[in-house]
């Protein structure tokens, strides 16, 4: 089986902490603390469908490579709009790469690309500043191919 590549366009969002909320009936529930997670998951799920990979339900073990491209802050640019020569390439601040991976894995599971994130035996993830559009490239490879 060839590696599966999914290109996602949108701003990656981390799956972070949960917030405890009280429901009108007196019960409690957990809610995602970040409002950006749901839109990111939807963008990933749509990219899976558009690429024709939704519903594959890949069995493990898999190697997953995640290359996140995050938006650059305005401080990385000069007044004329050119990128500053000292602007960093690597995104070494929040959000954490592991939390970005968690939200992406949940979207891959919901889209049916993988059966569960437990099938991921190896993860290679990076986050850099985007020189173009923000997003991610997701590559899923059965480990048998790599041996």
pLDDT value at residue 15: 85
Summarize pLDDT for 40-64 with one digit per residue, the tens: 999 999 999 999 999 999 988 999 9
pLDDT value at residue 36: 78
Residue 17 or residue 136, greater confidence: 136
pLDDT value at residue 78: 94
pLDDT value at residue 28: 81
Summarize pLDDT for 90-145 with one digit per residue, the tens: 999 999 999 999 999 999 999 999 999 999 999 999 999 998 899 999 999 999 75
In DSSP notation, 7-60 reads: EEES-------EEEEE-TTS-EEEEES-TTHHHHHHHHHHHHHHTT-TT--B-S
CATH number at residue 40: 3.30.1330.70
| Domain range enclosing 82 | 4-146
- Cβ–Cβ under 8 Å, residues 42 and 35: no
Query: What are the tokens at 91?
Result: 């995104």
pLDDT band at 21 (very low <50, low <70, confident <90, very high): confident
Cα separation, 103 vs 12, in Å, equals 9
- Cβ–Cβ under 8 Å, residues 48 and 54: yes
Given the structure tokens 């899976």, which residue do they identify?
A: 48
Q: What is the largest CA-CA distance in the chain?
A: 57
How many domains is the chain partitioned into structurally?
Answer: 1
Helix 37-50 and helix 97-110, axial crossing angle in degrees, nearest 10: 50
Summarize pLDDT for 28-39 with one digit per residue, the tens: 876 665 777 899
Q: Has residue 24 got a pLDDT over 90?
A: no
């Amino acid at each position: 089986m060839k590696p599966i590549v999914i290109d996602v366009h949108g701003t990656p969002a981390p799956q972070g902490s949960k917030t405890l909320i009280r429901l009108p009936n007196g019960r409690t529930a957990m809610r995602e603390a970040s409002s950006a997670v749901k839109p990111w998951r939807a963008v990933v799920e749509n990219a899976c469908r558009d690429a024709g990979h939704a519903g594959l339900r890949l069995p493990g073990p898999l190697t997953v490579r995640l290359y996140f491209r995050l938006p650059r802050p305005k401080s990385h640019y000069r007044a004329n709009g050119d990128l500053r020569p000292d602007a960093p390439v690597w995104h070494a601040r929040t959000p954490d790469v592991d939390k970005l991976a968690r939200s992406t894995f949940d979207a891959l599971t919901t889209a049916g690309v993988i059966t569960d994130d437990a099938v991921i035996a190896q993860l290679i993830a990076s986050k850099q500043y985007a020189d173009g559009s923000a997003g991610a490239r997701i590559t899923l490879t059965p480990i048998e191919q790599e041996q």
